[in-house]
Structure 1
Amino acid sequence: MKKLILPILCATLLFSCRKLDQPITRDYTDAAYWRTADDALAALASCYENLSDDVYYFGNEALSDNGYVSGTGFRAVSLIASGSYDPSNARLTEEWKYRYTCIRKCNIVTTNIDRVPGLDSTLKRRILGEARFIRAYSYFQLASWFGDVPFYTNLITIEEARAITRTKRDQVLDFVESELTDIRSALPVNNYTGNGYSEKDKGRITRGAAIALAARVHMFRSEWQKAIDDCELLINNATNGNYALQNNYTNIFTAANEFNNEVIFDIQYGGGRTHSAQRSFLPQTVALLRSTLVPTQDLVDDYIMLNGKGIRDASSGYNENDPYTNRDPRLNATILHDGSTVTDFDGKVQTILTKPGSVPATNSVDDQGASPTGYYFYKYYDRTATNYNSGLNLIVLRYADVLLMYAEAKNELGQLDAGVWNQTIRALRVRAGFNDAGATEFPGAGQDALRTIVRRERRAELAFEGVRALDIRRWKIADQVMNRPVRGIKVAGGAFRRDANGYIIVEDRVFTNPKHYLWPVPTFERDQNTNLGQNQDW
């Protein structure tokens, strides 16, 4: 589709069929549309297509200290992460266009739904609720990355788009919070009954999703009590949905266990819609492609020992010569390291060797196509994928995140006690496989020490789920953690640049405060609209 400011869609509406995992395949003119409920549902399905894609979802990990992308893949996120980008960067330019395309689609639904004759009132409220959620989610993404952004809920013209100014971030986020509260009664709980839902509608937005996203927005704004109030609507409370932790951490991210009741909101794939990003993060011997999206040593180092202590604690029992033994089980569930085993697409068990001089050297840091850090992401590996194209849904919000938000907000108000700990951190660690009291029992530490524990737990639990980049920005630590080099495994020699401790230095990064806490308004948009202005220092 031709690029237009904000981007404005042309008069021909491009809508998919009702099923959420199918690509857009049908064209309609405006005059012949909005005649039946199926027309409205098809228009709504088009909104779902712009919630996210795999390039954004996985690429976001490399916008944090969790991951690294070599080259210009994933829309040049490596340039953003290194601090060497400008307003013409592909990722931020595409993000702006992508989100406003989605907003436009949602505004088409909210503006035109009254044209459908005889539309059932309950179904109408539900369709509007879903469209408003998707629009709110898009505005949250825009405000998170860009700060002040153009804001509108009607179908503006190209001329209006070329003159619109930016609305303050807080005003946009106020709207997002208001929308997510107002639509709750129109949405079903996650058993998919009532409000016109049935089993075949799995994957659609639910009341729990609206509540959980509102909690995330509150966390972003440091609105601790509001976040607590929302989380308590979902924790041990079936009124707004039946959510719980799965018994097995690894199973959450498998095709066989999709739509489990830990998942609150995920991006739908399968059928005619697939993603192939796993070819860029798995070892070469598994996916037969260069490994360009990889974990960092800093992420690996943050996984605690089974006794609950960090590896830098002198009494932790950590052995630098045997670094992956007695670690948080989520490390092996998320990351492949030297000595890891993995079953490939042919059913063969491979041992992954990443150290220099390994034989074969295909997956080692010696090989140009292998991970430059010596690590590979394993979470979201889908062995059921045909030709590596996965139909596995990508999780945006799950119950574990709600528990972590609750623990964090409680701590920020000085209310993280043993009861809250047991509901949240202890529950997550027991599920992960911890059984040492040092890891599971409430440490009774002060607020600062508990903050470190909660943030580390969040990082380990949600790694490779795209949340770390915004976490380090809302915590205002991005200028610390992103000003460090990207490090890989420790090596004894070879043609590697290393730090004082022998760890490979893959890349230097720069994150300037306050400049890099907001992305610049894209050059293309400012060329079309001189009223947009620019963010500080850009």
Structure 2
Amino acid sequence: MFRYKSILYFLMLALVGLSCKREDFLDRFPQSALTEQTFFKNENDLKLYANQFYPSLPVQTSLSENASDNFVPNNRDSFLSGLYVVPVTASEGGWTWTNERNANYFLNRYQRADAAPAVKNRYAAEVRFFRAYNYWRKVVRFGDVPWLSKDLTDVSEELTDPKRPHKEVMDSVLVDLNFAVENLPLPKDAEANRLHKYAAAALKARICLWEGTFRKYHALGDHQPYLQEAVNASELIMNSGLYSIWTTGNPNTDYYNLFIQEELQSNPEAIMPMRYLKDVLMHNLTRQLGESGTGFSKNFARAFLSKDGLPTSLSPLYKGDNTLEEEATNRDPRFKQLIGTRGFVFQVNANGTRDTINLPRIGTSVAPTGYQVIKGRSPDLAQWNANQSTLDLFIFRYAETLLVYAEAKAELGQADQAVLDNSINKIRARVAMPPLNVNVPKDPKSDFPALPALLDEIRRERRIELAAEGFRLDDLLRWKAGKLIENPETVLGMKLTPAMRAMYPATQVANIVVDANNYIRTYNNITSRTWDDKMYRYPIPSQELTLNPNLAPQNPGW
């Protein structure tokens, strides 16, 4: 049974001494609300302190890929559009260190608590989990960053520490992750809604895949140990016997229904869910999906295989894309479970009537590209109320772990048929797609023409299965595939032929512009974006370079 107390603990951040105040320059100032003399005395103190980090858990939402080739928002992403300028302050540029400092504060004091060593290590493992996660996000954003293992005051010498090499920082992140996996309890022994061993293993698998492939494709060297660590962490979860791909045996609805459930704790695919309850903790995702101002791109829609398991460039089943209905015919069933097509029930009204899609909702804030995002969108009217959605969301999902495993094994040259059957093909079985074979043919229109066909298809499977969960830009960065942003299809929508346009009220489509092939152009002033390799890293805020000249040089190109 869900424990309200656990969620309330996570919300009681004001009771935790290191408050939410953010300071620039490595957030160096000590907090006065908590003193070493009055805290860190017992297990409850350790627990209360660790609670402050839980709001930063990486909850997966369905509107988190505007900065990628999957989505085309009405408002262009400034970074991918080349409009981003070097920020001045830390808060503007993401160079804030509150969580890292607070983690170090704990890790330098928790041992004094009157508690059993295993208890103390459990909470240290929670805090090191969050320190690892936050440092990894710093590395993803900035590359080389300082590594700090103690909390700083305004006179600490470490305030002027230089950046540490990316690889050195990530080696320290891995140490934290290993400690977390080793010292967190099994799910059966963990308090409801708190971290456990397999949640830590899921984060480790995610991070190690990112780091291993980043090192490989950016030619940093030493990539194989991280890929093997990704395999090891994935296998730890897979061999636990606790998790599986959720299915009811209905391939045309199961994927969609997975993301509109009010209770995921009993779902075998949820390694760790985020729990929401009426009037206790709620969110706004369904409402946002109804007013999103974004949609999937033409490039994303083209990525779906046909139902025979072949890409559209090879499949005789592909019907073309003159209409969205034709484009969805004979495709991977996830097409209609990710993209709103004819017959999708957008909302069930209070009087029982149904707001159903007949034509793609172009010319509205719902789907500017025509490829409407419906993942996580419930037709339940109660979920539409602002900030009152009670649908659980995933933090770590077993399908992602299987995808990590398959990709890491393929990168290591170890992806035989048994690997595919134990990973990719379990995911495909939910939607009745043909199993992936090691001898899969190469897509002649692949975005990765130089990549081996098997690895290419594993990447495709990842793109489809994890669409709209926030992974895509990280994937492009680690694969050194930023140039894909330049593909004109990444800023185009569905085809709007004159015949199709005539089916809409003239006022709805009057301002919609199409290209020479009748694909919707979301942006009238550009036909494609331009990638600059400096964009593999964000710039360090200029004020931080002034405060600490040892952070120089600025990231390349900025």
TM-score, normalised relative to structure 1: 0.82
**Structure-2 residue corresponding to 1:70:** 74
Q: Deviations over 1:148-169 (max 9, x none)?
A: 1121121112344652321111
Q: 1:448 to 1:164 in 2, by over 3 A?
A: same
- Equivalent of residue 137 in structure 1, options 121, 133, 139: 133
- Equivalent of residue 49 in structure 1, options 52, 55, 59: 55
**Structure-2 residue corresponding to 1:387:** 385
- Is 2:202–2:234's contact at 8 Å kept on the other side of the alignment? yes
**Structure-2 residue corresponding to 1:372:** 368
Q: 2-side partners of 1:232 and 1:469: how far apart?
A: 25
- Equivalent of residue 32 in structure 1, options 38, 52, 64: 38
The alpha-carbon deviation at position 182 of structure 1 amounts to 2.6
Q: In the TM superposition, what are the counterparts of 1:403-422 in structure 2 within 5 Å?
A: 403-422=402-421
Letter aligned with residue 424 of structure 2? I
**Structure-1 residue corresponding to 2:494:** 489
Q: 1-side partners of 2:368 and 2:400: how far apart?
A: 30
Q: 2-side partners of 1:109 and 1:291: how far apart?
A: 39
Q: Deviations over 1:225-248 (max 9, x none)?
A: 33223322222x12xx62211114
The alpha-carbon deviation at position 522 of structure 1 amounts to 2.5
Matched, 1:352 2:354: no
Q: 2-side partners of 1:229 and 1:467: how far apart?
A: 21
Q: 2-side partners of 1:128 and 1:394: how far apart?
A: 26
- Is 2:72–2:297's contact at 8 Å kept on the other side of the alignment? yes
- Is 1:330–1:432's contact at 8 Å kept on the other side of the alignment? yes
**Structure-2 residue corresponding to 1:531:** 550
Q: In the TM superposition, what are the counterparts of 1:80-479 in structure 2 within 5 Å?
A: 80-88=79-87, 93=92, 95-97=94-96, 100-116=97-113, 118-160=114-156, 162-190=159-187, 192-193=188-189, 197=190, 201-220=191-210, 221-222=212-213, 223=224, 224-235=227-238, 237-238=239-240, 242-247=242-247, 248-259=254-265, 260-267=267-274, 269-270=276-277, 272-282=280-290, 290-320=291-321, 321=323, 322-337=326-341, 339-344=343-348, 346=350, 348-355=353-360, 364-367=361-364, 369-382=365-378, 383=380, 385=383, 387-389=385-387, 390-434=389-433, 437=434, 439=435, 443-445=439-441, 448-479=452-483
Q: 1:81 to 1:430 in 2, by over 3 A?
A: same
Q: 1-side partners of 2:487 and 2:86: how far apart?
A: 20
The alpha-carbon deviation at position 455 of structure 1 amounts to 0.8
Letter aligned with residue 521 of structure 1? I
Q: 1:489 to 1:339 in 2, by over 3 A?
A: farther
The alpha-carbon deviation at position 109 of structure 1 amounts to 2.0
Q: 1-side partners of 2:309 and 2:89: how far apart?
A: 41
Letter aligned with residue 468 of structure 1? R
Q: 1:380 to 1:6 in 2, by over 3 A?
A: farther
- Is 1:307–1:316's contact at 8 Å kept on the other side of the alignment? yes
- Is 1:395–1:465's contact at 8 Å kept on the other side of the alignment? no
- Is 1:64–1:469's contact at 8 Å kept on the other side of the alignment? yes
- Is 1:426–1:441's contact at 8 Å kept on the other side of the alignment? no
Q: Deviations over 1:192-220 (max 9, x none)?
A: 22xxx3xxx22222211222222222222
Q: 1:333 to 1:121 in 2, by over 3 A?
A: same
- Is 1:305–1:318's contact at 8 Å kept on the other side of the alignment? no
Identity over aligned pairs, percent: 29
Q: 1-side partners of 2:404 and 2:397: how far apart?
A: 11
Q: 1-side partners of 2:425 and 2:244: how far apart?
A: 14
- Equivalent of residue 512 in structure 1, options 531, 534, 537: 531
The alpha-carbon deviation at position 67 of structure 1 amounts to 1.5
Q: Deviations over 1:95-148 (max 9, x none)?
A: 432xx22212222221222332x2232221110111101110111111112101
Q: Deviations over 1:56-102 (max 9, x none)?
A: x555411211113333xxxxx811132211122999836432xx222
Specify which structure has the bigger relative contact order, considering alpha-carbon pairs within 8 angstroms and separated by 6 or more residues.
Answer: 2
Helix, strand or coil for the counterpart of 2:243? coil
- Is 1:93–1:524's contact at 8 Å kept on the other side of the alignment? no
The alpha-carbon deviation at position 412 of structure 1 amounts to 2.3
Q: 1-side partners of 2:71 and 2:336: how far apart?
A: 16
Q: Deviations over 1:473-516 (max 9, x none)?
A: 11111222355351111112554332332111213453434211
The alpha-carbon deviation at position 268 of structure 1 amounts to 5.2
Q: 1:427 to 1:370 in 2, by over 3 A?
A: closer
Helix, strand or coil for the counterpart of 1:96? coil
- Is 1:266–1:395's contact at 8 Å kept on the other side of the alignment? yes
Q: 1-side partners of 2:285 and 2:88: how far apart?
A: 21
Q: 2-side partners of 1:120 and 1:407: how far apart?
A: 39
- Is 2:67–2:80's contact at 8 Å kept on the other side of the alignment? yes
- Equivalent of residue 501 in structure 1, options 517, 525, 548: 517
Q: Deviations over 1:10-62 (max 9, x none)?
A: 5145xxxxxxxxxxxxxx565533333222111101011233478xx555411
Letter aligned with residue 192 of structure 2? K
Q: Deviations over 1:435-461 (max 9, x none)?
A: xx5x56554557711122111110111
The alpha-carbon deviation at position 309 of structure 1 amounts to 1.7
- Is 1:280–1:293's contact at 8 Å kept on the other side of the alignment? no
- Is 1:62–1:69's contact at 8 Å kept on the other side of the alignment? yes
Q: 1:233 to 1:34 in 2, by over 3 A?
A: closer
Q: 1-side partners of 2:282 and 2:59: how far apart?
A: 10
Larger mean Cα displacement after TM superposition, 168-177 or 318-327? 318-327
Computed over aligned residues only, the root mean square deviation of the Cα atoms, in angstroms, reads 2.8
